[in-house]
């Protein structure tokens, strides 16, 4: 899982998680249905459902390094799911910070670079209504020279958030304030 710990899931949990992904990519189920299911599994008192939820989030996070190799349509589907997890609060604390950092890294790429910029822009569109929760993240997004050219409506929202909420602190207890403010998130190596 994000945060450095190695996670192993039972094979039947992995199989169930993978079957849900297959249903998404084949069009047999919608991302909205999967996010509803994940919300239920996240809050469930049934250990198996919690494990399937954790496995799906872990697998999506772990798969990020392979996203540049995805064909366009599955990558777009993945971006929508990635952003929906953020939008619906299905990732929190360290994992939320990592998801947000991955989106930031993707939209920092030049729009002409192709796939990963599109991934980031698509994922960002999914959770735009939550951006006011993270003024510092908004400031990082605004610092991207091309963001206004490719997403002018998002830029207006970002400017409003930074102007009205400031960017020195995020909401109390919000993980992105520390995760997104880190040198790695800000672009330092």
Per residue in 86-98, pLDDT tens? Answer: 999 999 999 999 9
Residue 4 has pLDDT above 90, yes or no: no
**pLDDT at residue 152 in the model:** 87
Map residue 23 onto helix, strand or coil.
helix
Q: What is the pLDDT of residues 117-168, one digit of tens each?
A: 999 999 999 999 999 999 999 999 999 999 988 888 899 999 999 999 875 5
Question: CA 170 to CA 96: how far, in whole Å?
Answer: 14
**Residue 179 predicted with pLDDT over 70:** no
pTM over 0.75: yes
- Token pair, residue 51, equals 């494990």
Residue with token string 């930074």: 162
- pLDDT in the model for residue 167: 56
pLDDT at 2 over 70: no
Cβ within 8 Å of residue 50, ≥6 positions away: 41, 42, 44
| Cα 26-121-150 angle, rounded to 5 deg | 135
């Amino acid at each position: 899982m994000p945060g450095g710990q190695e996670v192993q899931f039972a094979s039947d949990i992995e199989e169930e998680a993978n079957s849900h992904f297959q249903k998404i990519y084949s069009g047999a189920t919608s991302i909205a249905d999967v996010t509803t299911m994940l919300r239920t599994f996240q809050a469930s008192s049934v250990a198996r459902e919690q494990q399937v939820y954790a496995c799906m989030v872990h697998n999506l996070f772990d798969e990020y390094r392979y996203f540049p190799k995805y064909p366009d349509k599955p990558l777009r589907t993945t971006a929508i799911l990635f952003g929906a997890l953020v939008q619906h609060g299905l990732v929190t604390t360290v994992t939320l910070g990592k998801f947000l950092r991955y989106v930031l890294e993707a939209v920092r790429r030049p729009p002409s670079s192709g796939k990963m910029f599109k991934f980031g822009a698509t994922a960002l569109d999914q959770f735009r209504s939550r951006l006011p929760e993270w003024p510092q993240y908004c400031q990082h997004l605004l610092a991207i020279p091309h963001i206004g050219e490719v997403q002018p409506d998002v830029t207006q929202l970002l400017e409003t958030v930074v102007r009205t909420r400031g960017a020195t602190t995020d909401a109390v207890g919000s993980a992105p304030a520390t995760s997104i403010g880190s040198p790695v998130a800000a672009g330092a190596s």
